[in-house]
Amino acid sequence: MAIKKLSLKNFRCFQNTSYDLCDGLNFFHGTNGAGKTSILEAVYILGSGNSFRTTKSNNLIKLGSDSFKISAEIGDSAQKIIISKMKSKNLSIKVNEKNKIKRELVSLLPINAIDSKMFFYLSSAPDYRRKSLDRSLFLVSNTYQKSWFSYYSALRQRNSSLKRNSPQEAISWNMPLSDAASVIQNERSYFLDKIKANFFNLVKDQLDDGFAERLSIMNINLEKGFSNEVLLDDLEASLAQDLFKKTTQCGPHKADLVFDFDSSMAKDLFSRGEEKAFSIIWGLAISMTLINLGIDNVTVLDDLSSEIDETHLETLLAIIKKAPNQFIFSNISDLFNSKIDKNFNIKKFHVEH
C-alpha cells in the first residue's frame, strides 16, 4: 500500500499542488516555512481524519480561502481518498466517492507518524507509550480491540463502584477485568517481542557507530501494570487501598515500556539528539513489525536532522534506507545532494513557498 499521488488545494500554505510519490522513500526538503511539515500533516490526515498539529480543522484552510481539499490515489487499486472541509461545515471524508467516518481511514491507509511527540518517546509519560502500542495493536488484532474495549468498560464500572464506596459491586468487576487483562498482556508481549527483534536487526549492522552499539545492548521490557500472574489476585489484594483512593490502581492501564541499561534508565543517559535518533529507529521497527504481521503502512517523519549530529545522522540514513514500506520524510537541507545509487528507491522534492 502506498500513496501514488498526493494533491493539496487551499491546504495550509498550498494553493493547488500535487506530488507523484514513489513506493519507497520520498524526501521533501526546503527552508523553514516552505510547507514541508504541512505535506506530512496532509498524509497523516488521510489516514486518520485528524491533524497532528491542531484540533481545529478550520486552521488547515489557507488564509483567504473558504475550504481545503486533500486527495490521494492509493496503490494499484485505483482507490481514491478525498478529505475536505468548508469553514461552515463538518469535515467530509470520501473514499471512491462514498462517505466514510474517521475510524474507517485507519484501516484503509495505516499511518505510522514519527512526529515531534514521538521524538521524546523515552521521556514522555507512560500513557503516551501505552497509547502508541495500543494504536498499532488495534491495526493488527481484532481480539486485542475486543479485549481492550471490554477491559476499559469494566474498569469504568469498577471505578464507579469504588467512588460510591460499594466494595461488593467493585468485586463483581474483578473477573471481567482479569480475563480481559490476560488477553491484553499476552497480545502486548507478543507484539513487543516482534518490535524488539526488528529494532535489534536494524542496529546490528551499524555497530561501528558507538551509539548503535549501545542500542544493541539496551534492555527493553514491558511492565504489565500488575505483579501477580493474573490480575484477579492483585485486585483482591488492593481492594482496601482502591476504596481509599477511589480508583483501580493496578492493571494494563498502568503498564509501561521500560528502556534501560543495567537499571540506568535510557532517558537519563541519552542526549536529546540521541533520544530522537532512538525514537526514529524504534518507529521504523514498529512499521516493519506491522508489515511482518500483514499490515502495510506509510511512515511519515518530520525534520529528520534537527538536534542530531553528523555521525548519528549517517547511521539513521543507513537504517532508513532499509525501510520496506513507503517512507515520507522531510529536512531543511538536502541530505542526498550527491549522486544517488540507481538501486536506491528514493524520490526527492524541493518545497518552496
* CATH number of domain containing 194: 1.20.1050.90
How far from each other are the two terminal CA atoms of the chain, in whole angstroms?
29
In a domain, 323, yes or no: yes
**What distance in Å separates the CA atoms of residue 58 and residue 54, rounded to the nearest whole number?**
9
Task: Provide the strand spans (E) within 21-78.
Answer: 25-29, 67-74
pLDDT in tens, 198-227: 999 999 988 778 899 999 999 999 999 999
For residue 194, the SS3 value is helix
- Tell me whether residue 82 is in a domain: yes
pTM, to two decimals: 0.94
The reported pLDDT for the residue numbered 208 is 77
pLDDT digits (tens, 9 = 90+) for 242-256: 999 999 999 999 999
Rounded Cα–Cα distance for residues 80 and 5 (Å): 10
Say if residue 84 is in the same domain as residue 144.
no
Q: Is residue 290 part of a domain?
A: no
Query: Into how many domains does the chain fold?
Result: 2
Q: Considering only the C-alpha atoms of the chain, give the largest distance between any 2 of them, rounded to a whole number of Å.
A: 71
11 sits in which H/E element: strand 3-11
Q: 111 - beta bridge partners?
A: 298
For residue 316, what are the CA distances in angstroms to 32, 104, 174? Answer: 22, 33, 46
How many Å is the Cα radius of gyration of the chain? 22
Please check whether residues 139 and 208 belong to one and the same domain: yes
Q: Are residues 104 and 135 in the same domain?
A: no
User: Do 113 and 220 sit in the same domain of this protein?
Assistant: no
CA nearest to 91, candidates 59, 52, 135, 53: 59
- Residues 134, 264 share a domain: yes
pLDDT per 10-residue tile (average), the chain, 353 residues: 95 97 96 94 96 94 97 87 96 96 93 93 97 96 97 99 98 98 98 98 88 95 97 98 98 98 95 96 97 96 92 91 95 79 80 86
CA distance 205 to 234: 43
Is position 281 within any domain? no
340, 313: one domain: yes
Q: Which of 2, 4, 101, 5 is nearest to 49 (CA)?
A: 101
151 lies in the same domain as 264? yes
CATH number at residue 30: 3.40.50.300
Q: Distance between CA atoms of 220 and 243, rounded to whole angstroms?
A: 33
At 175, the amino acid letter reads: M
Residue pointed to by grid coordinates 501505552: 130
Distance CA 47, CA 100 (A): 12
Q: Are residues 93 and 215 in the same domain?
A: no
CA 35 to mean position of chain CA atoms = 22
252 located within any domain: yes
The parent domain of residue 223 ranges over: 126-268
Residue with cell 490521494: 72
Question: Position of cell 535489534?
Answer: 200
For residue 287, is it within any domain? no
Rounded Cα distance, 353 and 340, in Å: 26
Strands 67-74 and 79-86: antiparallel
Give the pLDDT confidence score for residue 1 in this predicted structure: 80
How confident is the model at residue 311, as a pLDDT?
87
Helix/strand/coil percentages in the chain, nearest 5: 45, 20, 35
pLDDT value at residue 44: 97
User: What's residue 102's pLDDT?
Assistant: 94
Range list of β-strands (E), 129-263: 219-223, 256-261
- pLDDT in the model for residue 343: 63
Cell numbers at residue 233, please?
489476585
Task: Give pLDDT, residue 340.
Answer: 60
Sign, Cα dihedral of 46, 52, 55, 60: negative
pLDDT of res. 169: 98
